[in-house]
Amino acid sequence: MWDYTDKVRDHFKNPRNVGVIPNADGTGEVGSLACGDALKLTIKIGKDGRIADAKFQTFGCASAIASASALTELVKGKTLEEASTITNQDIARHLGGLPKEKMHCSVMGREALEAALENYRTGVPVVKAHEERVVCTCFGVTEEVIERAIRENGLSTVEEVTNYTKAGGGCGGCHEDIEAILARVTGKAPPASKPEPPPPARKLTSIQKIRLIEETIDREVRPLLKRDGGDLELVDVIGDQVVVAFRGTCHQCRVAGVTLKDVVQPKLREFVSPDLVVVEETP
């Protein structure tokens, strides 16, 4: 269970300024339903040049709703220049803090605000440039987004980058790329490669195999899934076939198949047996 502040709970249960402004002067849409988080922010500019109204619609967790609600409170009454200086840290502070694993919700709020302001200035929808290199294909996070999060928030580890951008929170295949970006931005050498895990005993009893599978899931897989409210349950072990079931937000997730083949199976083959085949429980 996340340790939410009273202000986060209040904004989640009683969100401010929910909806869409008709004939809005600026609209910012960020995120993706496929990735589990999406936010639409609309703003109205008054005759005095200040933001007279702001409303939001979001698909996401309690932190996403609270962050968007707090953002609308922060921008109202501000000039465009003042609003453009609002950071994701300002959103988190307005809420009395966010769990470190949910800081990406405040980043999404800041991105929506920037998109809405840019839309007002240019009159055209803001679309990410196609030439931006996508580092995390699971969540569509670009190199530019990762670099900016590192610079603005003083990030130094892959885990922190995941907390602020969700990059690396899926299959984990982009961790080396994230480490390289961290090294370039911070000027620090990437960490040395992890030593190869010791090979498991060649002969395992059925009980030993099941216990080792459970330990590996608890240590190597479950923490990654729980970052975004997901989980994994071991259903059965039939010879070298491991039957699992996704729970929480991972259940029926569009990238669950990728997670199964690129994260769960490789981890179990690495720490238990190279012969294991992981399949998802059929309904």
Q: What is the pLDDT of residues 182-214, one digit of tens each?
A: 999 988 876 665 555 655 555 778 888 999 999
Worst-scoring range by mean pLDDT, 159-163, 196-200, 235-239?
196-200
Across 104-109, average pLDDT: 92
The CATH code that applies to domain 134-186 is 1.10.10.1100
**How many helices and strands (H and E) does the chain possess?**
12, 8
Catalytic residues: 35, 105
Indicate the length of the chain as a whole number.
283
Q: Determine the Cα–Cα distance for residues 31 and 139; give it in Å rounded to an integer.
A: 9
Across 217-227, average pLDDT: 86
Is residue 68 within 8 Å of residue 58, measured between CB atoms? yes
- Residue ranges covered by each domain of the chain: 6-122, 134-186, 206-280
Give pLDDT, residue 47: 93
3-state helix, strand, coil in the chain (%, to 5): 45, 20, 35
Give pLDDT, residue 191: 65
pLDDT at 160 over 70: yes
- Under DSSP, the state recorded for 137 is T
Locus of tokens 């992890």: 194
Which of 3.60.10.10, 3.30.460.80, 3.90.1010.10, 3.40.50.2300 would CATH assign to domain 6-122?
Answer: 3.90.1010.10
**What is the rounded average pLDDT for all residues in the chain?**
87
Give pLDDT, residue 195: 58
Which tens digits make up the pLDDT trace of 110-126? Answer: 999 999 999 999 988 87
Write phi, then psi, for 277 (nearest 5 degrees). Answer: -125, 125
pLDDT at 76 over 90: yes
Which fold would CATH assign to domain 206-280? GMP Synthetase; Chain A, domain 3 (3.30.300)
Which tens digits make up the pLDDT trace of 121-145? Answer: 998 887 554 446 888 887 778 898 8
Give pLDDT, residue 36: 61
